[in-house]
Structure 1
């Protein structure tokens, strides 16, 4: 007997949660800013010298896991502001959300929103003038 489609969704939760937990534990324990870190640097930045929209994300997650919100904001402000939408975007694939939360998540469920947001952020954080220079991640 084949499992219904909804049952297959549930089978993915445990391995994905385990991988996410393992990854977060690694980022918590190992500071990505330190030399010799097993986390790779940004290849886009190494090749072009520009900061991609994701530059500083691993360091921002490390800072958040240590409750250093200000440092996380300095590493990748976009990550900090978009992170609250991720659970809703994932959950709405499996079940209806409460009305108030659906109203928050629905506008950002469009792929064009994310494309424009990330491309715009990537462009702005590479402009050499203040206040845009504050969008670039801190070094070290």
Structure 2
């Protein structure tokens, strides 16, 4: 389904290929929409696309990845394809991202920074329930000696 969604938004989109360029472009996009640059700590990115007229973004990586955000002790799973509609301080209709809560993986459908509390970033699931964390927890992390981030 996400592949079909990408195909419908590919016309007039900026499309980038190759891991290093895609990492750079994904960080630039997060910065442009005022979200923390470490929010998508992905590896082996094949393609990043952004259709500015529709606000649709996609990221394709070679394989799914689980990343642990040490500052908040949370694991986040990123599918091989991630899509969203973006705007200022917001990613909505997000696909391909889940957070581990206790024993369950919970789908994340919306990420946003509330204008009334810009130090917090909120993550909502499709039912509308959300949880907030400090923006600082999602800044870019330094890689350790083995080339990994997280714990």
Q: Same fold (TM over 0.5)?
A: no
Q: Which has the higher contact order (CA 8 A, sep 6+)?
A: 1
Larger relative strand fraction: 2
Higher CA-based Rg: 1
